[in-house]
Amino acid sequence: MLRSLALILVLWLSACGLLPDRTEDQQDWSANKFYSEAKDKLNDGNYSAAIKLYESLERAIRMAG
């Protein structure tokens, strides 16, 4: 039973890496848009989504400058 649970956990965590960090519609977002969306997610209590958006904001800033 414990091995099955461990296997499911490993598969689930590895699948998270397969998801894209940004969606197609986010490619044209400005830094202000990323910040605004991330702040909304944070205020809604959706911390994992907020973190991903803040990380995308960081990447967008690095790529622009």
What pLDDT, in 10s, does the model give residues 2-12? 787 777 777 66
- Location of structure tokens 């991903």: 52
- Location of structure tokens 């690095």: 62
pTM for the model stands at: 0.59
Q: Give the residue ranges of DSSP H helices in 1-65.
A: 2-16, 31-43, 47-64
What pLDDT, in 10s, does the model give residues 8-60? 777 666 665 555 555 557 888 888 998 999 999 999 999 999 999 999 889 88
Whether 61 has a pLDDT exceeding 80, the answer reads: yes
CA atoms within 13 A on the CB side of 31: 8
Rounded (5°) CA angle 21-23-28: 110
pLDDT number for residue 28: 84
